């Protein structure tokens, strides 16, 4: 199981604002256009980061941590 907090590099008690900032940072870091030398890994990581955002917005944590 993926630890969504670990993917973003934030603590479990991170504020919604910290989660948003971490998402943006990771999304930019792993965007495939920014990583042409390792596009496959970048695509995989970028999709994982996008999945994390969906989890925080619409998943179990959405009731606890609105973004």
**Statement: residue 63 has pLDDT above 70:** no
- Residue 59's pLDDT is what? 59
Establish how many alpha carbons lie within 13 A of residue 25's alpha carbon, considering only the half-sphere containing its beta carbon.
10
- Residue 56's pLDDT is what? 80
User: What's the N-to-C CA distance of the chain in angstroms?
Assistant: 22
Once rounded to an integer, what is the mean pLDDT over residues 24-45?
96
What is the residue extent of each domain of the chain? 4-63
- Residue 40's pLDDT is what? 96
pLDDT band at 1, cuts 50/70/90?
Answer: confident
Topology of the domain covering 4-63? Helix Hairpins (1.10.287)
Model's pTM, two decimal places? Answer: 0.77
């Amino acid at each position: 199981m993926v630890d969504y907090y670990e993917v973003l590099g934030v603590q479990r008690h991170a504020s919604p604002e910290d989660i948003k900032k971490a998402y943006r940072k990771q999304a930019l870091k792993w965007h495939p256009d920014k990583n042409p030398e390792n596009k496959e890994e970048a695509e995989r990581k970028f999709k994982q980061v996008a999945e994390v955002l969906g989890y925080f917005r619409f998943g179990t944590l959405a009731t606890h941590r609105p973004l």
